[in-house]
Structure 1
Amino acid sequence: MNRQQTIWSAVGAAGAAVTGLAVGAAARKSKQIAAERRRLAAQLTGGAIPGEQPPGEQISVIADDGLRLSCEEIAPLDGGEPDLTVVLVHGFALDRRTWHFQRRTFAELPGGGDAPRVRQVLYDLRSHGRSERGPRESCTIEQLGRDLEAVLRTLVPDGPIVLIGHSMGGMTVMALAEQFPRLFEERIVGVGLVSTSAGEVGSAGLPKALLSRRNPLTRGVGLLARVQPTLVETGRRLLGDVIWAITRSFAYGDRNVAPWLVDLVDSMISANAVDALTDFVDTVNSHDRIAALPALAGCEVLVAAGDADRVIPFSHAERIAAELPDATLVRFPGVGHMPMLEQPAAMDEALLDLLRRSARRIGGPSRPGVLRRLRRRA
């Protein structure tokens, strides 16, 4: 057995032992959490339920490296001509179900003075949701920016655009601005940055060690998932209730949030392979795009976050807003990392304000290219 084989064998054996200990230690805690989930569900039976979603058309877009991205288009429910296209970009470990409430709100917009009528484009990031898994070397925010450009080029070839990105989705929008600044001069009239950061993600929020490139736990979990994926996924299922409680703690500020909302986030995370997620740790940790923010200055910008966010603290939103003094900064008191799910009415209000402001820019003196494209469509 050569040295590399010995290392892999040792990692596998150690991982199996650690996983076994963790499962055993968590069994008692799991029963306690399961009881709490049942208690919450009983208390909140009269609360919000998922409800019917507006129909969407499933479409695939091919990225510049040949990878297939799963996308969805949602037309206005009244069948009218949209005033602009809203592109929604979800965050790390999630998928396009992140925008559960917003997709209905946007589909029902009537147009006119109340709010512009919009067409929606949603998609799953590479290695997330229904999109194909990319090779590890392609799991970078730079590549996510190029993927977003491919989505725009394929599905939104003309007309004005509003981009809304959550968490790593916001970082993806910044990467697009870094690589394709002319889009923000000619096509993109509005940008929403939700619970995201322009840099130094590993310095605050989650304990620094968890996001650090040198973190042995993150490295070890990713390595073990590649060596013994069945073992890791089995442990993940056995620790389901514990993981559910961790998800609630980091996704939401309100511990009494409706259990189905925690289930939704938990199901999105669980749908992604562990090693596919750890492929992105380096790029999130090293993300630094403060220098790209000026490209957004010609757009209407919303920066929104909860002040109880344990993943990306509110101070990161304040930093972005300081770089974009004309941006609207919205703070959600007591809300965690998922304001679009935890406080959908407040989030929708902020987003609708962004859409109204963006619609007023269409065809203005600083946007002649947008006006020409709209006239071509008429």
Structure 2
Amino acid sequence: MPLLFIARTITGLLSLLILGTAIYLGWSWWVGETAAAPDGEWIRVREDWRLWLALGLLLWSFGGRLVLPFILAKTDGVTPQGFPRAESQLTSPTGARLYVEKEGEDGPTILLTHGWGLDSTIWSTSRSELGRLRSLQPHRLLVWDLPGLGKSKTQPGCIGPDAFAKELAFLLEEATEGPVILVGHSIGGMTMQSLIRQRPDLFGSRVVGVVLLNTTYTNPLRTMILSRLALALRRPLLEPLMHLMIWLQPLAWLCAWQSYLSGSAHLANRIGFGPDVTRAQLDHVSLLVTRNSPGVQARGNLAMFRWDASGAISAAACPTLIIGGELDLVTKLEASEAIASQGRSARLCAVPRANHMGFLEQANAYHSEILQFARALAMRDSPKAPLP
């Protein structure tokens, strides 16, 4: 999302400044200064503090990630276990190669769409929590990598919420059976709103429920903190920076990895979390946004600048659950409130102590709401066999 792009750019430049300072100090120590000795000969004088400071900064530039998470986040809790899954690569009509994972044999499908810069591995906690529902009522679970991220591939011109909505429609038709509940975080929720506009016929028939997590209904610059400043900087600064990142992608990727190793990426991504983030959560998110192509992420941000789906949720002929974080800086709670006010059968849940990545750090609260929502749908569709 744009706010995190701005934060990563600033901390990335800071990381490069530290590395550049280390190189300069090391070079200046090696060169030293010439001075006259008492006997009249010229000698080279080196100040050892420059060498030690250079080594310290160099060590931080490539090992800071081992220290910063201990300062920025809490001790980790229980790590979700691995999952039995069926992996596949599906080729859509647009030519995109979509990476899909499925689990479960029977029942409705819960289809999870992740946020921007991440991939389907971000749902590990969700898969563990939603697994509790399978013990009460059989269901399938499907996660996928958005085109251009993770193991999914696509063309540069096919990146953005509207393009992703076409791929989501393809998955609904080719990779799911029976009723489907769509769950989307951030750009995943934006993609679902685009799909409502493109294919309203799917909602109320194939799609029986929609869950939007920490998302917006318009250009994210308008619903983030400091939105007026961000909008003022969009054309003179943000868009040129993103185009530069696309043109210089190899260099941008190299800088991103250096920022990750130094811990600067962790500092930037900390903005998307509330007070309860753990070290593993922070490192996982930082690794994903580093591992995924900077050029793809820049193209996605540019597409979001031109995106607007105001009122789209009103065309969804199925129940909708909107979950927002009270502390969300990336897509403020006001955005979730606006979406909920537009929906015909929408319910808003505001989660305390939750920022943009609330479904990770406040997993119990988020998944409790999703499970209750799924239970209500099951009771509505099968009144004779409700969930316990």
| Residue among 22, 25, 37 paired with 2:69 | 37
Q: 2:203 aligns to what SS in structure 1?
A: helix
Deviations 1:213-259 (A, max 9, x none): 9444433433333433332222222222111111012x2011x5211
Aligned to 1:63: 92
How has the CA–CA distance of structure 1 residues 122 and 238 changed in structure 2, closer, same or farther, with 3 Å as cutoff? same
Aligned to 1:104: 128
Aligned to 2:257: 237
Q: 2:140 aligns to what SS in structure 1?
A: strand
Aligned to 1:353: 372
**Structure 1 residue 205 and structure 2 residue 224: aligned?**
yes
**Structure 1 residue 82 and structure 2 residue 106: aligned?**
yes
Q: 1:52 aligns to what SS in structure 2?
A: coil
Q: 2:348 aligns to what SS in structure 1?
A: strand
Q: 1:86 aligns to what SS in structure 2?
A: strand
Distance 1:226 1:321 in 2: 35
| Residue among 80, 87, 99 paired with 1:51 | 80
Q: Is the 8 Å Cα contact of residues 62 and 150 (structure 1) preserved in structure 2?
A: no
Larger radius of gyration: 2
Aligned to 2:298: 278
| Residue among 302, 306, 313 paired with 2:321 | 302
Give the partner amino acid of 2:84.
Answer: P
Aligned to 2:207: 188
Distance 1:212 1:82 in 2: 51
Aligned to 2:242: 222
Give the partner amino acid of 1:87.
Answer: L
Aligned to 1:24: 17
- How much has 1:203 moved relative to structure 2? 1.5
Aligned to 2:270: 248
Deviations 1:329-355 (A, max 9, x none): 111112111111111111110010111
Give the partner amino acid of 1:98.
Answer: I
Aligned to 1:122: 143
Q: 1:192 aligns to what SS in structure 2?
A: strand
- Report the TM-score when normalising by structure 1: 0.80
RMSD value, Cα = 2.6
Distance 1:21 1:248 in 2: 16
- How much has 1:207 moved relative to structure 2? 4.2
- Mean CA deviation greater in 214-223 or 168-177: 214-223
Q: Is the 8 Å Cα contact of residues 181 and 208 (structure 2) preserved in structure 1?
A: yes
- Mean CA deviation greater in 215-224 or 184-193: 215-224
- Report the TM-score when normalising by structure 2: 0.78
- How much has 1:65 moved relative to structure 2? 1.1
Q: Is the 8 Å Cα contact of residues 124 and 130 (structure 1) preserved in structure 2?
A: yes
Deviations 1:152-196 (A, max 9, x none): 11111x311100011000011111111111111311111100001
Aligned to 2:37: none
Distance 1:62 1:93 in 2: 21
Q: 2:133 aligns to what SS in structure 1?
A: coil
Percent identity of the aligned residues? 25
Q: 2:204 aligns to what SS in structure 1?
A: helix
Q: 1:288 aligns to what SS in structure 2?
A: coil
- How much has 1:299 moved relative to structure 2? 1.4
Distance 2:232 2:146 in 1: 22
Give aligned pairs, total. Answer: 330
